[in-house]
Amino acid sequence: MKIVIPAADLHIGGGCKVLVDIAGALTKKGHEVEVVIPKTATVKYNIPCKLTIVPKLEADYIPYGDIILPNFYTTFQSAFEAWPEQTVRLSLGFEPLWVPNREAALWTYAQEVPILSISSWLDQQIFDHVGRRSTIVSLGIDPRIFRPQGPRIHPHPSKKTTKVILYIARDRRDYALKGFDDFYACMEIIKNEYAGDYMVYLICPDGAVSLVTLGIPERIFYPKNEFEMAKLFRTADVFVASSWFEAFSLPPLEAMACGTPVVTTNSGGVMDFCSHMESAYVTKPRDPRQLAQGICAVLSDRQLAEKLALGGKASAARLTKAHFERNIVNALEEIYNERVSLN
């Protein structure tokens, strides 16, 4: 079958990487895949299939496919207008929670086309808002990259009592829902209440974001690939995620796979692989005090840290990239075969 994947952009980010992985999995299975992007788009990945650049992502420029697979509400509108019977709605996040045109985003979920989602939480959001169910295909990590690798790497061999808190710091203006302001307030609490030595490693995909005004020791990193990310996970004593809501959220799962204890908000999709005090320390979103308590608990209690690390590794072992790729290909093949049989 031929699958067309319209994408507004292919910048560095979880959703864009998922699209590239899907294209690669379908191509390896022998399907014809075409990724379609507008001329204004950036492309930060090696695309494993045909890449077509069009003037705009409008209906007139969407080529025919046995399946058209948009993953965002704006690309869905163009795809559905062009090929309504071929469109499958891939949901990597519930846009009505954050985009300005909430009604337009809701409309894309209400159309009578198959929906694929990536977590139980996301499926429930779709059902609660439009009364429709999706096929859940959970994301996964590559265990060849994200894995414990011998002894943990300590950043300061001469001062091994220093603990490392690892955090992905997104721009607070464009990514407020990632909760950087909550993390900042949390670190202010830790500065005043945690007596041990620590420093913060900040991964900054959008440019430097700092805690310097708090006077907390920090280092800023710009990892270029998954291997560098995995090394940072293995360096840390705790990985912290502070999002208000997430459809899935791969970084906590990647950290778990590397054997790093995780403190995370209950942002929704993470609960498919996080169990409080078993595989992660889970707090309420937008609650810096609880987040600080979780970080302090992991840094202070070695037994708890080891328990969460073991539980996290077991949880991550269930959700691999290979499983995701197989399941997404199977789901699309089933949709196609059912359509063919009905015709």
Q: How confident is the model at residue 158 (pLDDT cuts 50, 70, 90)?
A: very low
Query: HSE-up of 146 (CA within 13 Å, CB side)?
Result: 25
Same domain, 114 and 252: no
The pTM is what? 0.92
Structural domain that includes position 257: 163-317
Residue 68: closest CA among 55, 52, 47:
52
Q: Are residues 46 and 124 in the same domain?
A: yes
Rounded mean pLDDT of 331-335? 97
Question: 326 and 311 share a domain?
Answer: no
The DSSP bridge partners found for residue 200 are 165, 218
One domain, residues 77 and 178: no
Please report whether residue 292 resides in a domain: yes
Note the pLDDT of residue 339: 87
Residue 88 domain-assigned?
yes
pLDDT computed for residue 283 by the predictor: 98
For residue 15, is pLDDT > 90? no
Residue 174 banded pLDDT, cuts 50, 70, 90 = confident
- Give the model confidence (pLDDT) of 227-258 as tens digits: 999 999 999 999 999 999 999 999 999 999 99
Residue 157 within any structural domain of the chain: no
Range of weakest confidence among 24-28, 76-80, 175-179, 299-303:
175-179
Helix or strand (DSSP H, E) at 283: strand 281-283
pLDDT digits (tens, 9 = 90+) for 115-147: 999 999 999 999 999 999 999 999 999 999 999
Q: Is residue 198 part of a domain?
A: yes
User: Which tokens hold the place of 249?
Assistant: 């959220």
The per-residue pLDDT for range 254-302, each reduced to its tens digit, is 999 999 999 999 999 999 999 999 999 999 999 999 999 999 999 999 9
Domain total for the chain?
2
Three-state secondary-structure class, residue 5: strand
Assess whether 308 and 184 both reside in one domain. yes
For residue 159, name the pLDDT band (cuts at 50, 70, 90). Answer: low
Structural contact between residues 167 and 159, judged by C-beta atoms closer than 8 angstroms: no
Q: Does residue 155 lie in a domain region?
A: no
Residue 312, domain member (yes or no): yes
Burial of 160 (0-12, 13-18, 19+ CB in 10 A): exposed
- Tell me: do 124 and 7 sit in the same domain: yes
Residue pLDDT, tens place only, 53-75: 999 999 999 999 999 999 999 99
Residues 305 and 174 in one domain: yes
Are 205 and 113 found together in one domain? no
Please report whether residue 148 resides in a domain.
no
H helices of the chain, in order, are: 14-28, 73-82, 102-110, 120-130, 180-193, 226-235, 250-257, 288-300, 302-317, 321-342
- In the structure, what pLDDT confidence band is assigned to residue 31 with cuts at 50, 70 and 90? very high
- Within this chain, do residues 290 and 309 fall inside the same structural domain, yes or no? yes
CATH label of the domain that carries residue 195: 3.40.50.2000
Say if 147 falls within a structural domain: no
Q: Are residues 305 and 331 in the same domain?
A: no
* Residues 169 and 313 occupy one common structural domain: yes
222 and 297 inside one domain: yes
